[in-house]
Chain A
Amino acid sequence: MTERVVRVASGQGFWGDSLDAPRQQVENGPVDYLMLDYLAEVTMSILQKQKERDPTMGYARDFVGAMDSVLEAVTERGVRVIANAGGVNPPACATAIQGVAKKRGKSLRIGVVTGDDLLPRLNELVEQGHALAHMETGEPLETVRDRVLSANAYIGSKPIVEALSRKAQVVITGRSTDTALTMAPIRFEYGWKDTDYDRLAAGIVAGHILECGAQSSGGNCQYDWRNIPDLANVGYPIADAYEDGSFVVTKHPNTGGRVSVQTVSEQLVYEMGDPHGYITPDVIADFSTIRIEDAGPDRVRVFGIKGYAPTDKLKVSIAYKSGYKAVGTLVYSWPDALEKAQLADRILRERLERLGLRFDEILTEFVGASATHGPLAGDAGRNAPEIQLRVGVRSDDRATVERFTREIAPLVLNGPPGVTGFAGGRPKVEEIVAYWPALIDKTVVQTHVEIV
């Protein structure tokens, strides 16, 4: 008798990831579930702005093309898709997906998970005494409430499990945790209970490994990067999950990239906080208990994970308007590229000073010398063939930032010599959407599943 396995494939690590990955995951070999993660911290506010302009928008539009490309696998072969592509408008996303299916003469059962969006309830919640204090600074939300663009609670696996148990072929959520998208189908298949903490934690670890797409199958991997094969045809990761919570990370044969202890370990430490307490709505996972071993070519076995009862809070991701910024660049060439860029920076700052412009922050970086490694880079820029001067400013006053964007170009004619790289024109003024993480009582957030 062969041991039962549930195969969950990752086809998207963020909105902007490979358009081909979802199709390749369902066509290059057998999978049971396709997991697509579209949401990053700032994505919700962008989607909220789109919804304000057009009430039928507010979801990750790439998902429509992705569903078109996997429609046959879903309707003919029974692959089920779970995506947080719903953004701030899961029902509209479902309507768009139904449209794609209809055009191809197919019918789809879609589970739509809602309830994470707290924006319409925000004033009521604050009045009821939920401070929604900033998790790092402790400030109450009151200080920025009039500038809030979006507010979403991170919801867990249970509504996804409910949608699957109601026979949804596609499950669309809003701000579900990235890890729940993977854990939910495994949990559903094996019938894990709320208190199966170790197994739920294992599912969360599988989700953490899969949630960034090919970042666990050879992409962006520091270890032995020169020898990772065929990244142009990289295979996205797949979790072969077993009933006891253990799983094997792998990828389809005849694809590029690599799944090794090293590629998986790098993903495990990515965006890690305190490894003893990786907090999710379903369970607290202890990353210090993860065991990992080589299980053959492009196969890594992960097991032994401990989990603990979840907290009574949910994390809330709030986005709010926070002033304006602009970044301008010029390129200075050898000889003495760095010195020229440094002189240009001094001239620019003196001009801004004389114009009486006040900024909350001015940041100068010398790309090619020290921009990313700071003082650790030593004298790297001294003989550089070119150095990019990169100056950013930030202010609450749009006009001040606007004025700055007009002071970079003149340096081409009235600053140091050997300068180029201004083809892009004046820098753009961008409105800043800042991130406000907070906690809220779990009891306040009720999720809802609708099958359409």
Chain B
Amino acid sequence: MKVRLLDIAHARSGDKGDTANVGVIANRPEWFPLIARELTQARVTQHFAGMIEGEVDRFELPNLNALNFLLHGALGGGGTLSLKTDAQGKVYSTALLRMMLDVPDAEARALGLPSA
């Protein structure tokens, strides 16, 4: 089943220099393991291809049912140097929530995931 990340998680992002961070939080604690499994460093790197110049770091915060990603080289030099509309990376959060996940039907049903 196709599941949109937007329907199962929420997120906030911000900046540190030329790096944007995206914190993504499961809407329900029981959905966190699935999100942690699907949002690998490679998958998020691929998702943001063409939008960032550097690497992606990934951190787990199971205590908050959250993951944190650092997107390096995301802000056109960062802060005041940047020519971008989103110079401080405030909406990389919603860009991540566009991601579609492929979840086995049985698992999706068991977890009560909303279908995209």
Binding site for B on A (CB under 8 A): 41-42, 135-136, 220-223, 262, 265-276, 287-292, 322, 325, 327, 361, 363, 365, 367, 371-376, 390, 392-394, 432-435, 437
Q: How far is the CB of B90 from chain A (nearest CB, A)?
A: 8
Nearest chain A CB to B100's CB is how many angstroms away? 11
Q: A327 to chain B: which residues have CB within 8 Å? A: 83
Please provide the chain B residues from 39 to 71 with a CB less than 8 Å away from any CB of chain A in the complex. 47, 49-51, 57, 59-66, 68, 70
Pick from B25, B78, B86, B98: contact of A266, CB below 8 A.
Answer: B25
User: CA separation between A41 and B16, bound complex, in Å?
Assistant: 10
Is the Cβ of A273 less than 8 Å from the Cβ of B16? yes
B95 at interface, CB cutoff 8 A: yes
Of B21, B65, B86, which contacts A273 at CB under 8 A?
B21
Distance (whole angstroms) from the CB of A29 to the closest CB of chain B: 27
In the assembled complex, the CB of B116 is this many whole angstroms from the nearest CB of chain A, namely: 15
B81 touches A394 (CB 8 A): yes
Q: In the complex, which residue of chain A has the Cβ closest to the Cβ of B17?
A: A136
User: What is the CB-to-nearest-CB distance from A45 to chain B, in angstroms, rounded to a whole number?
Assistant: 9
Q: Known: A262-B25, A269-B25, A272-B23. Is A376-B47 also a contact (CB below 8 A)?
A: yes
* CB-CB under 8 A for A437 and B50, given A42-B80, A222-B93, A373-B94: no
Q: Are A271 and B15 in contact (CB under 8 A)?
A: yes
- C-alpha spacing A220/B13, complex, angstroms: 11
Q: Please indicate the chain A residues that have their CB under 8 angstroms from the CB of B84 in the complex.
A: 363, 365, 371, 392
- Tell whether, in the assembled complex, residue A374 and residue B23 are in contact, meaning their CB atoms are under 8 Å apart: no
Cβ-defined partner of B50 (8 Å) among A272, A325, A365, A375: A375
Contacts of A434 in B (CB 8 A): 77, 79-81
CA distance A273 to B58 in the complex (A): 10
With A and B bound together, what is the CA distance between A275 and B17 in angstroms? 17
Q: Residue on A with the closest CB to B81? A: A434
Q: Is the beta-carbon distance between B21 and A269 smaller than 8 angstroms?
A: yes
The 5 residue pairs across chains A and B that have the minimum distance between CB atoms:
A269-B23, A392-B83, A271-B14, A223-B10, A363-B83
CA distance A222 to B23 in the complex (A): 12
Q: In the complex, what distance in Å separates the CA atom of A222 from the CA atom of B31? A: 17
B92 to chain A, nearest CB (A): 8
With contact pairs A291-B63, A361-B76 given, residues A266 and B23 touching in the complex (Cβ less than 8 Å): yes
Contacts of B3 in A (CB 8 A): none
Q: In the complex, which residues of chain B have a beta carbon less than 8 angstroms from the beta carbon of A135?
A: 17
Partner of B51, one of A221, A290, A376: A376
Q: Determine how close the nearest CB of chain B comes to the CB of A391; give it in whole angstroms.
A: 9
A375 to B47, alpha carbons, bound, how many Å? 10
Nearest-neighbour CB distance to chain A for B17, whole angstroms, equals 6
* Max chain B Cβ within 10 angstroms of own Cβ: one of A223, A289, A291, A393: A223
If A42-B80, A390-B85 touch, does A266 touch B12 (CB 8 Å cutoff)?
Answer: yes
Contact with A along B15-29 (1 / 0, CB 8 A): 111110101110100
Which B residues touch A271, using CB under 8 A? 14-16, 21
B interface residues, Cβ below 8 angstroms from A: 10-19, 21, 23-25, 27, 47, 49-51, 57, 59-66, 68, 70, 76-81, 83-86, 91, 93-95, 97-98
B67 to chain A, nearest CB (A): 9
A-B contact pairs, 20 of them (CB 8 A): A223-B10, A262-B25, A265-B66, A268-B64, A272-B68, A273-B70, A275-B59, A275-B68, A289-B63, A325-B81, A372-B86, A372-B95, A373-B91, A374-B95, A375-B50, A376-B51, A394-B83, A434-B80, A434-B81, A435-B78
Flag if B50 contacts A374 (CB, 8 Å).
yes
Q: SS class of chain B's interface: helix, strand, loop or mixed? A: mixed
A435 touches B79 (CB 8 A): yes
B83 pairs with A361, CB closer than 8 A:
yes
Say whether B98 contacts A376, CB under 8 Å.
yes
Flag if A265 contacts B64 (CB, 8 Å): yes
Q: Could you tell me the distance between the alpha carbons of A289 and B64 in the complex, rounded to whole angstroms?
A: 9
A221 to chain B, nearest CB (A): 8
Inter-chain contact B95/A373, CB cutoff 8 Å: yes
Q: How far is the CB of B5 from chain A (nearest CB, A)?
A: 12
CB of A433 within 8 A of CB of B80, answer yes
Residue in chain B with minimal CB distance to A42: B80
A223/B23 in contact, CB under 8 A: no
Partner of B23, one of A270, A363, A371, A375: A270
List residues of chain A with CB within 8 A of the CB of B47: 376
Is the Cβ of A42 less than 8 Å from the Cβ of B83?
Answer: no
Q: What chain A residues lie within 8 Å of B21 (beta carbons)?
A: 269-273
The answer on a CB contact under 8 Å between B83 and A393 is yes
A337 to chain B minimum Cβ distance, whole angstroms, is 17
Q: How far, in angstroms, from A169 to B76 measured CA to CA in the complex?
A: 43
A432 vs B81: C-alpha distance when bound (angstroms) = 6
A288 to chain B minimum Cβ distance, whole angstroms, is: 5
B70 to A, closest residue via Cβ: A273
Residue of B nearest to A266 (CB): B12
Considering the complex, give the chain A residue whose CB is closest to the CB of B83: A392
Bound Cα distance from A435 to B16, whole angstroms: 10
> Do the beta carbons of B51 and A267 come within 8 Å of each other?
no
Q: Which residue of A lies closest to B64 (CB)?
A: A265
Q: Which residues of A contact B76 (CB under 8 A)?
A: 361, 363
